[in-house]
Amino acid sequence: MVNLRERITKNGIKSLGTNELVAVILGNGTKGQNVIELADEIVLKSQNLNLNMEQLISHKGIGIAQACKILAALELGQRKLEIDSVLNQIVDLSSLSKHLIKKIGNSPQEKLVAVYLDNGYHVIAEKIIFVGTTDAATVHPRDIIREALYVSATQIVVAHNHPSGRNEPSENDKNFSLRLLKCCQLMGINLIDHIIVTKNTHSSLKSQKII
């Protein structure tokens, strides 16, 4: 444990592996298992660190207090990603898609994000418009356009994640995109694209000629 702290002090937190980060949070192992072995077990049995209280306390030596520490750390990391933005940057669709994958790709719920730009492709605002269930997101185009008018945006990119891991647009995705496109055209706003993201990939409704 001391060695891990020394490595963090000397080389930074990024020098540690995922199991070692969990070990730092736990602090101690159990009578028959050191802290690294316990952390290895937790990471191995989790699916991309998709953990909950029940899963954590099922491990021998993990009580509610330690489980809460791990869950709090995971939630803090997720919130940090959601806060991160590309505000004031000039973006292209490739870099923006990578940013959106990091921002919402791992979310267990559908989230719809709108990125607002000026004519020079400077990002002037970025907002999570809607958080839905694990299989559906319901949002009206006016919710997106209202914010565009408020920040005087002339262009919009919208994106939402598919927790299922499939990046193909659903019929609902296509219908929503067409409704949003018509509303944007009426208001003189350019809908640049609607991007669907998963944990590792993205797809563009614009490139598929859906909008």
Within-domain flag for 211: no
Q: Are residues 78 and 109 in the same domain?
A: no
Q: Of 47, 82, 117, which closes a domain?
A: 82
**Domains of the chain: total:** 2
Q: What is the pTM of this model?
A: 0.65
Tell me the residue range of the domain where 57 lies.
Answer: 2-82
pLDDT tens string for the chain (211 positions)?
658 888 888 888 888 888 888 888 888 888 788 888 888 888 888 877 778 898 888 888 888 988 899 988 888 877 776 666 676 677 788 889 998 998 898 888 899 999 999 999 999 999 989 888 655 556 889 999 999 999 999 999 999 999 888 989 999 999 999 999 999 999 999 999 999 999 889 999 999 999 9
- Sequence-ordered list of residues with C-beta below 8 angstroms from that of 128, at least 6 positions apart, any chain: 82, 104, 111, 112, 113
Q: Of 82, 107, 129, which closes a domain?
A: 82
Q: Are residues 34 and 131 in the same domain?
A: no
- Sequence-ordered list of residues with C-beta below 8 angstroms from that of 53, at least 6 positions apart, any chain: 64, 67, 68, 71
- CATH code, domain with 138: 3.40.140.10
